Amino acid sequence: MSYLFTSESVSEGHPDKVADQISDALIDNFLAFDQSSKVACETLVTTGQVVLAGEVKSSTYLDVQRITRDVIKKIGYTKSEYMFEANSCGILSAIHEQSQDINQGVDRAKPEEQGAGDQGMMFGYATNETENFMPLALDLSHKLLIELAALRRENKEITYLRPDAKSQVTIEYNDDHQPIRIDSIVISTQHDDFHENDEEMLSTIKRDIINILIPRVKALLKPELQKLFDGDIKYHINPTGKFVIGGPHGDTGLTGRKIIVDTYGGKGAHGGGAFSGKDPSKVDRSAAYATRHIAKNLVAAGVAEEVLVQVSYAIGVAEPCGVFVDTKGTSKVNLTDGEIANKVAQIFDLRPYFIEQRLKLRNPIYSETAAYGHMGRKNEIVTKKFLGANGEEKIVEVELFTWEKLDYLDQIKQAFGL
């Protein structure tokens, strides 16, 4: 019997994502001027107010107010009627120095002996149901909001959009776990109060979402995925009614509250640790990227159709406590999942220092991760510019989303005899 599976996404203007983007912008600026920076930075956003808190060990000093305002402006909170606006919001910084008790477990005389920044378990996941090896429901949820943000910035076909939005996609699967059709799509988008009649305003929004946004998303997909958009989709567009009050004025936002949106949309598993605002010595972040890199390369190499990888650590200890692999019964090799895990541990060095080096994580690459998911994104080289507190300008070339590279296929195929 067929079954349904649902994932959601949130836009860059969602209050929790505003907080994530501010925290990751601070990480990038610290790393741009001091690659050895240790940072754990949390952000709270609410009506007319931003609060920054956290711990930092760095040789650089930042103008956190300017960085914060630049992020808010880039997202699109630039009008006073939003009750949260880049130039006028208050910014309180309570950032202080990192605890020496924590730092002593991370920094070592020999860099390769660097200990994990915390205990815990991290998961990586990959599936062959999409080109980017991501779960389909989440991938479509992200695409809907990326295109909605593009329409907002173009301000041509749809002229009333505001930054805050959420999406949700429910996929119907057959017994063989193949997607059959899209059962429902939910879009809640913040908007201007552009019509005195609420019913007519909501009717316009629903018509524009279905007739303008959906075709743009379909056009991005391969023909076999376009077929999933049949005429029986249930659309829920702003189902609660009008959505004028939104963003940090509508809901308080906090760093790290969208960890499922950031990863796999409820597929696979999650260890519970957030990513944004953390430098790569925090294995919550770096090991989650490393396990995604492993899972994606295993699936792409043909070891299995679907793979979940777990790694765990003790704080201050370099060697992981364990590596676990679950192929969900889709393995294509004559090995148990435990034997696959042993080979994974031989191919990939999962000590924190070697993860940082392999994936180039001590570079300012994190702002781009803070909206529309950390996984399944495009690996590319870009040039970024940073401005120091003293006016110093720094231009750096960095490689984004290194954990999405399929650069271990040969090693994996050789190890597994593929």
Instruction: Determine if residue 410 is labeled as part of a ligand binding site.
Output: no
Region of residue 266 (phi > 0: left; psi between -120 and 50: alpha; otherwise: beta): left
Three-state SS at 248: helix
Is 270 among the annotated ligand-binding positions?
no
Structure token digits, residue 221: 């997909």
Count how many Cα atoms sit within 13 Å of the Cα of residue 289 in the half-sphere of its side chain: 33
165 assigned ligand-binding residue = yes
Long-range contact list for 206-211, CB < 8 A, 24+ apart?
Answer: 206/235, 206/237, 206/238, 208/157, 208/158, 209/235, 209/237, 210/235, 210/237
Sign of the CA dihedral with 374 first, then 378, 379, and 385 last: negative
Q: What is the C-alpha to C-alpha distance for residues 200 and 27, in angstroms, rounded to an integer?
A: 44
Residue 98 annotated as part of some ligand binding site: yes
Q: Find out whether 84 is annotated in a ligand binding site.
A: no
Taking CA atoms, 149 is separated from 14, 163, 332, 403, in Å, by 12, 7, 40, 25
DSSP string, 10-44: E-TTSHHHHHHHHHHHHHHHHHHH-TT-EEEEEEE
**Of the candidates 375, 372, 405, which has an alpha carbon nearest to the alpha carbon of residue 270?**
375
Tell me if 318 is assigned to a ligand binding site. Answer: no
What does the DSSP assignment read for 182-213? EEEEEEEEEE----S-HHHHHHHHHHHIIIII
CB 333 within 8 A of CB 417: yes
| Block residue for tokens 């790290």 | 256
- Tell whether residue 150 is among the known ligand binding residues: no
Residue with structure tokens 């990038």? 28
Annotated binding residue 258: yes
- 166 is annotated as contributing to ligand binding: yes
**Residue 257, marked binder:** yes
Closest to 149 (Cα-Cα) out of 137, 161, 140 = 161
Greatest CA separation for the chain: 68
Helices (H), 252-330: 259-262, 283-301
Q: Do the annotations mark residue 16 as ligand-binding?
A: yes
Question: Rounded distance, CA 376 to CA 89, Å?
Answer: 34
Known binding residue 378? Answer is no
Residue 251, annotated ligand binder? yes
**Is 413 labeled as ligand-binding?**
no
Which residue ranges are tagged as binding site? 14, 16, 42, 55, 98, 164-166, 242-243, 251, 257-258, 274, 278, 282
Which residue ranges are tagged as binding site for Mg(2+)? 16
Which residue ranges are tagged as binding site for ATP? 14, 164-166, 242-243, 251, 257-258, 274, 278
Which residue ranges are tagged as binding site for K(+)? 42
